Structure 1
């Protein structure tokens, strides 16, 4: 199985979207600061994940979730779980 997952940084409230075939190992590596792209933002909480039978489908879903439409879907789907924590609706910096 391949997993697409969404993490939220406890440190800055921003989200990270990724994919892996070992969700537990990947989550731990993010929280241990072993990933360059997230090492300055750990620790994380796992907000959401979904399983896919093959890598191609997971990659397509990850790609979609990183688009504006995908970020809007994430915001609408997870907004009730986020309480007052910060979640960016788009990836653009102001």
Structure 2
């Protein structure tokens, strides 16, 4: 099983979207600075997570959440106070 996740920087509020088989471990890696693209914006917190049955399904959902429509989806959840 895979997890698609969105994390938010506590420094500047930027959102990063990714997928992993272990989102808690992955968050620890982001916060430890092991990920080059997120290193400078630590600490991070998980703000959204969903499951996917296959890697292909997870990757497709990740691509969607990184698109304009996906960003609007995450923003709408945030605006509703869900995030």
Q: CA RMSD in A?
A: 1.0
- CA shift, 1:25, in A, is 1.0
- CA shift, 1:22, in A, is 1.3
Q: Whose Rg is larger?
A: 1
Structure 2 alignment gaps of length 5 or more:
none
Within 1, Cα distance between the matches of 2:77 and 2:66?
15
Structure 1 alignment gaps of length 5 or more:
83-94
Moved over 2 A (4+): none
User: TM-score, structure 2 length as denominator?
Assistant: 0.93
Within 2, Cα distance between the matches of 1:48 and 1:54?
18
How many residue pairs get aligned? The number is 82
Which of the two has greater helix per residue? 2
Deviates further, 73-82 or 41-50 = 73-82
